[in-house]
Amino acid sequence: MPVGSEASAWIAGAPAPFDAAVAEAARLLGLSAAPVFAHLGADVAGLREAVLLAEQVGGVLDHADSPGLLTNLDSVRESGAMLTTPLEAARADLVLLIGDGVFDAWPDLTPRLIDRLADGARVVWLTGSAGGRFESIAIGTGVARLAALGRLRAEAKLRPLASTPPALRSLAQSLRAAKFGVAVWSGADLEPLAVEAIHGLVRDLNETTRFSTLPLASPDACAAETVCGWMTGFPPRTGFARGRPEHDPWRYDSRRMIAAGEADCVVRVDAFASDAHIAIGLGEAPANVRFEVGRPGVDHDAIFYDARVGTFVARPAASPAGRSVAQTLAAIRARLGGPPC
Amino acid sequence: MLTRIAGGRILDPAQSRDEVGDLWLQGDRVIAAPDHGRADETFDAGGCVVMAGAIDIHSHIAGANVNTARLLLPQQHRAHASRPAATPLANAGWSTFETGRLYAQMGFTTVVEPAISPHHALHAHLELADTPVIDKAILAILGNDDFGLGLMRDGAGPDAIRDHVAWTLQSSKALGLKVINAGGVAAFKDNVRSFGFDDVVPRYGVSSRQIVKTLQRAVHDLGVPHPLHVHCNNLGLPGNFQTALDTIAAAEGLPLHLAHLQFYGYGAEGKLGFSSAAPKLAEAVNAAKSVTIDVGQAMFGQTVTISSDVLRQFSARAQARPSKYVIIDGDANGGGVMPYNYRDGSFANAVQFVVGLELFLLIDDPYRVYFTTDHPNGAPFTAYPDLFALLMSRDVRAQWLSRLPAEALAVTTLASLTREYSWGEIATMTRAAPARLLGLKDRGHLGPGARADVAIYRPGADLAQTFRAAVRVWKDGECVVRDGALTHYRFGRALRVSPQPDAAMTRRVAEYYDARYGLDAELLSVPEAALPREPFETVACPR
Amino acid sequence: MSALTFTLRCPPPQRVDLCALTPAQLAGKSLAEIAALPIQTNRAPLCVGDLFALKDGERGTIVFEGGAERLDRLGAGLDTGAIRVIGAVGVEAGRGMSGGALTIEGDAGPYAGSGLRGGVLRIEGDAGERLGGPRAGETEGMNGGLIHVAGHAGDRAGDRLRRGFILIEGAAGDCAGSRMIAGTLAIGGKAGALPGYLMNRGTILLAGGCDEMAPTFGDCGVHGLTAARLLASYVETHSPNLAAAFRQPLRRYAGDLAALGKGEIFSTTT
């Protein structure tokens, strides 16, 4: 947000000079035994500084959307996957949407993918319960969805099962007949084993035809995954308390840590909120220190993850204003004596 | 700051210099010995070898596929021991920070990431900008993209192809052009499962040969110093030496670089239908003076293969160890990532190991054979020191060969090869030659005006250790490595060529992006000022 | 001589990593050296001696008196000797064990016996989710040895099991034996929904039925199976109850047809 005459930093709810807020943030993080970055909504430069600051203070890096992100990633890294990009997916002659949350995960799914398919391409939506906008088959959620996806995969292997609903058997035949099919879902929406079943189905289909997947997660979670990946070797839920990055999706689950009283200082970075900010506080209490920050690509030049292309894009600021996440976090790290990087 | 490196053996094949003497650095440059030189700092290099910083022309160190590999294999870098952290993220295994550190400690100062799809160029440059110390560059991939293949299908002339190449290099801020299984990846999108040099891409009606020849000509006409960098068809398959021979023959006197030739050095002889064809390839390379190659040596151990040859990676999926793979159908080339374990008890892996060494030893001219393991596909770049030792000592080779299956040695000639690389040949292959190949005038040598990228080694009985831990390394005149350990970060730059894209082609590309993707083509370009920490440095195109 | 004993002094102020406290790693260390071993997982330094009172004893056997949900990786990497915990433990108890015996006289958290390769892990209370299962990025779960749970187990017990035995006397959560590669999983109580989901090979015994069978398992009828009797004799010493179940007439289901389909689920018919 533009700085103007208004304050851009607060300590305990009261406006404070930026330097004082930086000093207070550094003091809190320096005293903390278990600082946790519970959310990482930032551009690439901001994420980079968050990783460096987390290392400096021995903290844990997590993202509010890690559950969906890791549901997608876990299946990939435990079993492998066929993947494609948002641009390439538009070449599909069959798009298989899975789960009610798929449009929530990518609000532009219709204009960016569905509307760009060639004439004659087919869209099938495996919904939870409701009838969808497209040709849809309600398969339920949870155990029911797992059972249905298992059934679909077996039918696609030409192993007919008793009592497979005709619509599902016919879909299995269509999947086999597709020239290039793409399955699309949101990791936040599906059971981990459902994702595993879909990847298995797609692997099987590629024995005879071409089929791929487009697993969706929130764009800034994808950015955090990628930047943490090249900087530490690991995606979020990575901690530095013992001097080296350690990845542990169970122990470094920030929600679990906060609920279990294992975190004594919580940092939330959200440059994509309407009130772009960094908040540093104890547990779920109101922030002890808060910084207003610029919006990436609006208030400052930025590189961020763009769901339309599934990779990073650069966007210059329309009218530069305010401090970025990167500048703010770098100031805190410098205050803590972190070496330049 | 005036630095004198005193009394070392200065080994600078580009300047035909091999003598004990002094080397002077001022600022970020090598200078001639000053008349009234009083050095601010003197390093006694007595007993040491002084070389320019090494240059790696083909190492997959950054970008979307590399990062997918990191995320796919957390267990391969989980157990990283804590070390005192002099530099941020020094304890992060397989991070960009580790990559820069490990390269610098071996005396490498410039590394080329050779396979970046243009749409992922910004991502790759972001990772390279987080790779400390070394200078970097990318090669941009064409040859399986719809727009480029469409131009060829529609009979666009050489000027249009050239303009498209120029636009791509400019847009992705690349140092050169790469083609990976030309047409084969596009064909795989139409479910083609094998694709040779004269096979024709469905929908586009052009053969792999036509694609390679067309792009080779375009790169040449643009005056891009680095010739078209070719990853041939049929990688890894028995009998594929013929594909490489056909590609070499197709160079027809124009410059052409064949990547990781080891992976094409396979005959189909012997009981197991797999043998070394390295002598045939070496003979062809020796005869084709416009052709350069890098080896892509395979070394034993766990690694991961990362390739934009999606067809090949898919075809090899059953060989993944541990058993998982990621295949990405990309906007053009995409990628395939597959963990793999080269075992010295395996006949096939032993043949691969031997084929690489045969190529090194049978190709005469160190200016035309480049030192690579196709990191990490043949082996991680951290295996380089062992490989230097293998090339420089037939005793070391004999020790390694004694561990290999006898039937693998039976289908190769390696045991009969006595050549040992000299220090001078190593310096040529890793310094003088790659600088020439990439058009880097101020790198790869130690003449006055050269960039002050200097590596010093102390030769010892253990040659591998000698190369693993440089005694000193200067980058741009700043000493960054002492006794094999990085002392601090500094950040380098990204090298690229900057051909001016033609206005009509820019318009045509913009129309294509709008029609096909509904996007501004600029969205997927790398802006000049995107990476303030790491500025781009333009390498001249002489034509 | 009694065992080397660690008596918990107070509730752990943070999660602690106890993987260093195995007989092989403590051999030759003085009590003072052991007390000084770091076990913290956050920035607040914490040593063994801060959390436990130590009593020296025979080093091949270690006893923990008192447990807590924050005691992680207890017995991880155990290769020889015995560890007994009188109380509960946190995550990854016995992870990667290759030999010896780890007995937990209380509840264990998630991922107990993760990647077990040998030895015996006995949990007298309940086990959390993913018993014996792989951690992030691993393609295999338990790969040998035996896990015996006297109580209940959470979801996905035996995930990616590749070799060895998992014996659960009580109930199991959903998707027990998910993605099994091979090996044997026996459940005495009721299993949750979809046991054996996406299993390739291996054997699951359901002695107490399940909430819902996956549609991708084929009913092959009731048999008295030689293979099952062999398994019975193997598990006899650990679990007479499950051994008896293996000897009953069993209904055999083949699956998971969504995956390789060469696994089998045996279910008691009463």
Interface partners of chain A (CB pairs < 8 Å, 3 or more) are: B, C
Residue ranges covered by each domain of chain B: 55-445
Structure tokens at C77: 């990497």
pLDDT at B83: 57
Pairing of strands B301-307, B291-294: unpaired
Question: Judged by CB atoms within 8 Å, which residues 106-125 of A form the interface with B?
Answer: 111-112, 116
Residue ranges covered by each domain of chain C: 1-140, 152-270
A155, with CB counted inside 10 A (0-12, 13-18, 19+), is buried
CB contacts < 8 A, B to C, total 13
* Best mutation target, C138, C140, C143, C162, to test chain B (most B CBs within 10 A): C138
Question: Taking residues B142-160, what's their average pLDDT?
Answer: 97
Q: Count CB-CB contacts under 10 A for residue A298.
A: 18
- The 8-class DSSP code of residue A59 comes to -
The complex's ipTM works out to: 0.96
pLDDT digits (tens, 9 = 90+) for B492-501: 999 999 999 8
Give the pLDDT band (50/70/90) at residue A1. Answer: very low
C-alpha distance from residue A125 to each of A96, A113, A182, A215, B279 (Å): 6, 14, 12, 15, 57
Nearest-CB residue to A154 (from C14, C110, C257): C257
pLDDT digits (tens, 9 = 90+) for C96-118: 999 999 999 999 999 999 999 99
- Per-residue H/E/C for B317-338: HHHCCCCCCEEEECCCCCEEEE
pLDDT at A2: 42
What single letter denotes the amino acid at residue C38? P
pLDDT at A285: 67
C87, with CB counted inside 10 A (0-12, 13-18, 19+), is middle
CATH of B55-445, one of 3.20.20.140, 3.40.309.10, 3.30.1330.10, 3.20.20.80: 3.20.20.140
Could you give the CA distance from residue B443 to residue B447 in angstroms, rounded to a whole number? 9
Q: C177's torsion region: left (phi>0), alpha (psi -120 to 50) or beta?
A: left
Question: Judged by CB atoms within 8 Å, which residues 61-80 of B form the interface with A?
Answer: 62, 64, 66-67, 70-74, 77-78, 80
C256 prior amide bond cis, ω within 30:
yes
Spatial neighbors of A193 by CB under 8 A, at least 6 apart, are A146, C156, C175, C178, C179, C197, C198
Cα angle value B340/B342/B345 (rounded, 5°): 140
CB B321 within 8 A of CB B340: yes
A27, with CB counted inside 10 A (0-12, 13-18, 19+), is middle
Pick the residue from chain C with its C-alpha nearest to A32: C43
> B72 vs C137: CB contact, 8 Å cut-off?
yes
Report how many helices (DSSP H) and strands (DSSP E) chain B contains, helices first: 18, 24
pLDDT at B198: 98
C-alpha distance from residue B415 to each of A175, A181, B241, B412, C270 (Å): 53, 51, 21, 8, 70
CA distance C159 to chain B (A): 16
State yes or no: pLDDT of B81 exceeds 60. Answer: no
CB contacts < 8 A, A to C, total 105
Nearest-CB residue to C43 (from A147, A162, A241): A241
State yes or no: pLDDT of C143 exceeds 90. Answer: yes
State yes or no: pLDDT of B253 exceeds 50. Answer: yes
Pick the residue from chain C with its C-alpha nearest to B76: C137
pLDDT at B59: 98
Q: What percent of chain B has pLDDT over 70?
A: 98
Give the pLDDT band (50/70/90) at residue B413. Answer: confident
> C138 vs B73: CB contact, 8 Å cut-off?
no
Between B84 and A156, the more confident residue is A156
Could you give the CA distance from residue B271 to residue B268 in angstroms, rounded to a whole number? 9
Q: Is C22's Cβ below 8 Å from some Cβ in A? A: no
Give the pLDDT band (50/70/90) at residue C16. Answer: very high
Give C214's contacts in chain A (Cβ within 8 Å). Answer: 146-147, 150
What structural domains does chain A harbor?
A: 9-65+220-335 (no CATH), 68-217 (3.40.228.10)
Give B527's contacts in chain A (Cβ within 8 Å). Answer: 314, 316
Question: Taking residues B452-467, what's their average pLDDT?
Answer: 97
Coil/strand/helix, residue B268 = coil
State yes or no: pLDDT of B523 exceeds 50. Answer: yes
In whole numbers, what is the pLDDT of chain A averaged over residues? 95
Spatial neighbors of A131 by CB under 8 A, at least 6 apart, are A138
CB A237 within 8 A of CB A62: yes
Coil/strand/helix, residue C36 = coil
pLDDT digits (tens, 9 = 90+) for A270-307: 999 999 999 999 866 668 999 999 999 999 999 999 99
Pick the residue from chain C with its C-alpha nearest to B320: C139
Between helix B347-362 and helix B278-287 the angle, nearest 10°, is 20
Give A228's contacts in chain C (Cβ within 8 Å). Answer: none
Could you give the CA distance from residue C170 to residue C152 in angstroms, rounded to a whole number? 4
State yes or no: pLDDT of A340 exceeds 90. Answer: no
Percent helix / strand / coil, chain C, rounded to 5: 10, 35, 55
pLDDT at B85: 59
Could you give the CA distance from residue B326 to residue A249 in angstroms, rounded to a whole number? 21
Pick the residue from chain C with its C-alpha nearest to A79: C139
Could you give the CA distance from residue B329 to residue A130 in angstroms, rounded to a whole number? 32
CA distance C26 to chain B (A): 20
State yes or no: pLDDT of B150 exceeds 50. Answer: yes
State yes or no: pLDDT of A3 exceeds 50. Answer: no
Nearest-CB residue to B123 (from A52, A247, A312): A312
pLDDT digits (tens, 9 = 90+) for A40-69: 999 999 999 999 999 999 999 999 999 999
Structure tokens at A182: 């793409």
> C136 vs B74: CB contact, 8 Å cut-off?
yes
Could you give the CA distance from residue A334 to residue A337 in angstroms, rounded to a whole number? 5
pLDDT at B37: 73
Coil/strand/helix, residue A128 = coil
B341, with CB counted inside 10 A (0-12, 13-18, 19+), is middle
Give the pLDDT band (50/70/90) at residue A4. Answer: very low
Chain B residues at the C interface, defined by Cβ less than 8 Å, are 72-75, 322-324
CB A200 within 8 A of CB C258: yes
Lookup result for tokens 């770049």? B381
Coil/strand/helix, residue B494 = strand
Question: Taking residues C113-132, what's their average pLDDT?
Answer: 98
Spatial neighbors of C201 by CB under 8 A, at least 6 apart, are C180, C181, C182, C260, C262, C263
Which stretches of A85-206 are assigned E, i.e. beta strand? 94-98, 122-127, 135-138, 180-186
